[in-house]
Amino acid sequence: MARERRPRDHDGPDHHGIRRQAAGAGRRMSLHPALAAGKTAVITGAADGIGLAAAKIFRELGLNVVMADVTGRKLKQEAEAIGAIAVPTDVADRAAVEALKAVAIEKFGAVDVLMNNAGVGGGGDAFAGDDAWSRILDVNLWGVINGVQVFGEEMALSGRPGLIINTGSKQGITQPPGDTAYNVSKAAVKALTEGLAHTLRQTEDCQVTAHLLIPGYTFTGMTRRGPGDKPDAAWTPEQVVHFMLARIEAGDFYILCPDNDVTRAVDERRMAWAMGDIIENRPALSRWHPDWKDAFASFASSGVDKP
């Protein structure tokens, strides 16, 4: 969810109409049956950013929305403003997530959409202290595991259409150096969501689908650097959510979001190079290795249209 600054990965302008599609997708398309009026969505990390944008857009679509976050006062204010239910929740605490589910079931009877979006940054490198690593993994990984396990099985066995959306990161795929703890947490969310998608496919009569949301540079509380307007390079959270809905309707599992800075084609080359480290037996993270700098630059630029 956080931006990856140069020479790290960040996403950019879409020269094939993706931005135009994202800007109004929520109103134009035929939505997934779990996103119908009267259905219920639970969103974690909902007091700000992508989670808050999803809550607002889901309410516009007529869904009941239960918003969860550790930020109690802001969460309550935002929920009241859109007619949603606020449940202060530490997603790292399994009991708190079970209490969140209990509120949703008591209020609305069932949960149709689960968006595991809560996340934190700033974990540090491989030698960072235990406290930093524990915080990152507790929220970014165990928060998602808790959501999937507390809500997911009941949703899968219900026979109703449903969605489970987990927020990942490009850093969990390309692994830029600097915040290894964050990268590990998001790589694990990718693996978890892939495994979840398979489990749901293997569950008889299951109508629930899993999706991995992979945002580009998005202007949120996590990426905001002090006061000021949104940088030109960033997407708004609303753009991300509209794009997410369009790609869910298209059947995408990997929802790889662009932004206003780097093309999807560049992202694809970066991801292909990362996998090539294994296939070609290159040094780990060779993209940032001085001996491989020129080779990566040539690979990244080949076949990519210039802005």
Partners of 208 in beta bridges: 162
Among 142, 182, 217, 219, the active-site one is: 182
Region of residue 45 (phi > 0: left; psi between -120 and 50: alpha; otherwise: beta): left
Q: Are 46 and 72 in contact (CB under 8 A)?
A: no
What is the number of H-type helices and E-type strands within the chain?
12, 7
Termini Cα distance of the chain: 24
Beta-carbon-side half-sphere exposure of residue 35 (alpha carbons within 13 Å): 26
Residue 217: active-site member: no
Closest CA to 167 of 25, 18, 27, 46: 46
Dist CA 50 CA 45 (whole Å): 8
Q: Which residue has the tokens 């960072």?
A: 128
Partners of 163 in beta bridges: 113, 209
Phi/psi at 65 (nearest 5 deg)?
A: -130, 130
Closest CA to 141 of 192, 212, 180, 90: 192
3-state secondary structure of 212: strand
Active-site residue list: 182
